[in-house]
A and B are shown apart, each in its own frame.
Chain A
């Protein structure tokens, strides 16, 4: 494409929009997983049923005092009622005294 010297000049504005959400820093990390209660949260896809047991076994091997709350407690977090289940998560995690979560599988 080429421009003619007599072509108008256009002053275009930005097509995007500012962020309406405030950014916050992420939660503090744990000093160790020893003695921590860790919740597994799964979207019931991408072989999480094969991998979360492997993860659990490995974590228990390295941190014998770790406590795991399985994904079945929270159910499918990507199904037809995703919004309702994810909406309940903060209360569910608090009620169960969860210290950290492992969420999967984003593929």
Chain B
């Protein structure tokens, strides 16, 4: 749709071929870019599930006419304007907690967990000491075309149960969502990745972020509430609901924030993930990437790096599948999986004098799969890399490094990333257990993006002489 939108923006008529079931998302995407009623030519069923003969017959019988009509028949439909939508300070429902929750759930404004009613009093209290102008527009959501405002961030924060001191974290997350490099517009893609927030910095503990046992499970308030806020914000402001932009076949539940074990990192002299991603040392940061699948690497046995690396590499390799199309295909050099090590495992490496770079280099050698499997995953089995090119051809074309074509033996083992530093490492979890966790990432569709959290109070909010800072429009 974005290509069609680019054409329409300069007055060139377009028609977009979409599979059955995608009409709603296609039109919502166009609406988010300010284009209403763009023409669609809808296929019957999904193209990947048809034989070639079935597909061609169906396409000729239905889609061709729809393409022609889309380019030549004027539409009678008018604008979908916003005149029916509330204003920011309008009361949309008054009632008990049950009434509010029922109202919000019926409209898709909550994800099913009870919300705290976002009353004006609660939101004003949430923002009161921050100094932020609630009406400041930080940007426009790339998917829905809706304004990202401090006010809307606060409304959803109240709903999620965040505390006022979490606001700087939420503002940083909003900055990530607005960063074109992140690609928030892909947050409803069909394979259904979901964002993982990794939090670093000296203020993490003071804000209540937990990094120990059960770190990826609900339970610690800050981790849970902020993780929930992201999902609510994607729903309410970015439009990722099933009747707008969310086309996930399955999806994942909202992920709680993963806070790294900074004390362990300091002890062993390893940099936090944020620094590996380019943030300054010692900064409070959020790093976000959309993750597809995850695998527990359970009960890692061994007292030396050499003993534990093979199993960890195997875990990374097992997590990598269709998403290898982000090595080349849908992405390019953008498969960058995350390995979360429990502190014991990180200390096992450090005790032997291994730096993070050493671990990445070793994992690069061990996280390998047969070339034929790699090619099948991104070609024959998923059809996600056009042309079904072999790895040797991609190397010959200069699109992949030589390590992918050490020979043309289809059973040769090839890495799952282009270089060692593409394997991200974080340290968190129960400090007394020898488990690890591997995540596969969704390449450019939620690319690793790090931003510094600014905890300094703002001075945007204009207050009156008597000291009151009433929020009015």
Contact = CB atoms under 8 A, between A and B. Distances in A.
Contacts of B1: 103, 106
A90 B8 CA distance: 9
Contacts of A62: 68
A62 B60 CA distance: 12
B119 interface: yes
B397 interface: no
Contacts of B383: 45-47
Given A9-B95, A106-B16, A90 B10 contact: yes
Interface string A91-107: 00110001111111111
A36 to B, nearest CB: 8
B225 interface: no
Interface in B95-119: 95-101, 103-104, 109, 117-119
B335 to A, nearest CB: 11
A15 B118 contact: yes
A9 to B, nearest CB: 6
A68 interface: no
A15 B104 contact: yes
Given A10-B119, A58-B64, A16 B94 contact: no
Interface string B371-385: 000000000000110
A25 B43 CA distance: 25
Contacts of A105: 17-19, 47
Interface stretch (B34-42, B430-438, B455-463): B34-42
B16 A104 contact: yes
B145 interface: yes
A36 B14 CA distance: 13
Interface in B166-193: 180, 190
Interface in A68-95: 74, 76-83, 86-87, 89-90, 93-94
B123 A13 contact: yes
A105 B4 CA distance: 11
Nearest to A51: B59
Contacts of A22: 34
A17 B109 CA distance: 12
- Which among B35, B47, B384 has the greatest number of chain A C-beta atoms within 10 A? B47
A87 B43 CA distance: 27
Given A9-B95, A50-B55, A80-B332, A21 B145 contact: yes
Contact of A54 (B16, B34, B56, B79): B56
The 5 tightest CB contacts between A and B, nearest first, are A107-B19, A106-B18, A104-B17, A10-B117, A21-B34
Interface of B: 1-4, 6-19, 22, 25-26, 31-39, 41, 43, 46-48, 52, 55-56, 59-60, 63-64, 67-68, 71-75, 79-82, 85-101, 103-104, 109, 117-120, 123, 137, 140-141, 144-149, 151-152, 155-156, 159, 180, 190, 232, 236-237, 329-334, 383-384, 386-387, 443-444
Interface of A: 1-3, 7-33, 36, 38-39, 41, 43-51, 54-55, 58-59, 62, 74, 76-83, 86-87, 89-90, 93-94, 98-107
